[in-house]
Amino acid sequence: MFNLYTSSILQIQTLKKIVFLMVIALSAFCYAQQDAQYTQYMYNTVSVNPAYAGSRGQISLAALHRSQWVGLKGAPVTQTFNVHSPIGYRGVGLGLSIVNDQIGPTSETNFDVDFSYTIWTSTEGRVSFGLKASANLLDVRFSELDEYNLDNNLQQNIDNRLTPNIGAGVYYHTNEFYVGLSVPRILETLHFQGSNLSTAKENMNFYLITGYVWDLNPFVKFKPALLTKLVRGAPLQVDLSANFMFSEKFIVGAGYRWGAAFTGMAGFNISRKFLIGIAYDKETTELGSAAFNDGSFEVIFRYDFISSKNNLKSPRFF
C-alpha cells in the first residue's frame, strides 16, 4: 500500500513537471509567440485594435486581471490597463495601454500608444482607422529551469530586452453593430536565438472581432459576439459568446473557445459610468481535467468619464 501511494505521488509530480514544460514550450519558447488571451475581449477591444481608441465618445479607463489555469505552477497571469479618448480635433482618438504578461520564467510588458481617425459613413455608421506604436520589454529567467536539465543554449537570461513594434487596425460600428480587423504587432522580432533553437519570436497575430446588439424588449438586450485570432504556427482561435443585459444594469452570458474552454461571464453597471465584469473559463482539454487546474479567472473594471452634457441615454454594450 505504501509503495502504491508513493508511486502515485511520484506520477503526479512527474505529470506536473511535464505539463509545466509544455506550458513553457507552447507559450514562451515556441516559434509562434502569441499575444495575451482575454475572455472579456468585448470590454477590452482597444488592447487588440488601435482603431477602437476614442470610439466610446469620452475618456474611458479600464483595468483587467487574468489568472489562467489556477493551481498550475508557472501558468499565465496577465494585467492590462488602458485609457483612451477622442480629442478636440474632430475624428481623432488617442489611447495608452500597458499589458503585463507573465508565463513561467518569462515576464513581458508592452507599452502601447494608439491613434485613430474616424469617418462618418452614414447617420449612424462610422469607420475608424488606427495605428499602434509599442515598446516590448522582455525578461526571461532561464536559470529558474535548471532543475529540469534544459539545453545548454538556455543558460543565458534575457534581462529587460526592449524592442519596438507597430500595429494597425480598422473598426466599423453603428449603435447596434461592430466589426474590426487588426494586427497589433506587425514586426516579427526575434528575441533570442541559440545554435539550433529560436525562441520568443514575435509573429503577427491577426484579429477579427464582431458583434450585434438586439433589443429583445425595453428591458432586455442580447449581444452575440465573435473573436477570431490567427497566428502562424498555432491553432486558429475562435471565441463565441452571448450576453444578455437586463434593465441596463445586469449582464450575464456564456461563451465557448473552440476546442479549448467553456466560459461564463457576469457584469454589473454600477452606474452609467462604472462597469465591473468577471469571467471564468473551464478547459475542455486534458489539461482541464487535471486535479491541480482550477480553471481561469478574469475581472475587469471600466470607468467612463461621462459629463452631464453628454446625451448618452444608456450604457454602451461594446
pLDDT in tens, the chain (318 residues): 444 434 434 333 433 343 343 333 333 333 444 678 899 988 889 999 999 999 998 999 999 999 988 878 788 999 999 999 999 778 999 999 999 999 888 889 999 999 999 999 999 899 999 999 999 998 877 666 655 555 555 556 666 788 999 999 999 999 999 999 999 999 987 655 554 444 556 788 999 999 999 999 999 999 999 999 998 878 889 999 999 999 999 999 999 999 889 999 999 999 989 999 999 999 887 766 666 678 899 999 999 998 765 555 566 788
- What are the chain's domains? 2-304 (2.40.160.40)
pTM (predicted TM-score): 0.81
∠ CA 114-176-112, nearest 5°, is 10
Among candidate residues 92, 95, 88, the one with its CA nearest the CA of residue 114: 95
> Distance between CA 261 and CA 255 in Å, rounded?
8
Q: Measuring CA to CA, how many Å separate 173 from each of 6, 86, 94, 134, 229? A: 60, 15, 18, 25, 20
R_g of the chain, CA atoms, integer Å? 21
